[in-house]
Amino acid sequence: MGATAEAGDDDTRVIKFLVGSRRLGKFSYTWRIGSGGTSFYIKPLPAALQEIKVSLHGPDSARGLTGGYKIELDESAGSTQQDAGALTKLVNWPQRRWFGGHEVLPGVDLVVRLRFPWDLFDAQAVSAQPPPRGPRAREFGGLIPTPARGHAADVDVFVCRDEPYWPNEEQSRRDNANLGPIKNKAGQYLTAQVVHRHIEQEPSPVAGSAPVGPLGAPPVFDRLRGLGAAFDDTAEFLWLEEMWLSRSEMQREALSIFRAPS
- Contact 202/169 with Cβ under 8 angstroms? no
Number of domains in the chain: 1
| Domain presence at residue 7 | no
| Domain presence at residue 127 | yes
| Domain presence at residue 6 | no
| Domain presence at residue 1 | no
Model confidence pLDDT, tens digit, residues 52-84: 889 999 887 777 677 899 988 776 655 444 433
Residue 144, beta-bridge partner list? 19
| Domain presence at residue 167 | yes
CA gap 165, 168 in Å, rounded: 9
Read off φ and ψ for residue 111, nearest 5 degrees: -110, -35
* Torsion of the alpha carbons at 31, 106, 239 and 136, rounded to the nearest 10: 0
| Domain presence at residue 148 | yes
CA gap 19, 196 in Å, rounded: 11
Model confidence pLDDT, tens digit, residues 134-178: 777 778 889 999 999 999 999 999 999 999 999 999 999 999 999
Model confidence pLDDT, tens digit, residues 109-140: 999 999 999 999 998 888 998 887 777 777 88
| Domain presence at residue 4 | no
pTM for the whole thing?
A: 0.86
CA gap 55, 70 in Å, rounded: 5
| Domain presence at residue 56 | yes
What domain range includes position 225? 14-258
Model confidence pLDDT, tens digit, residues 186-202: 999 999 999 999 999 99
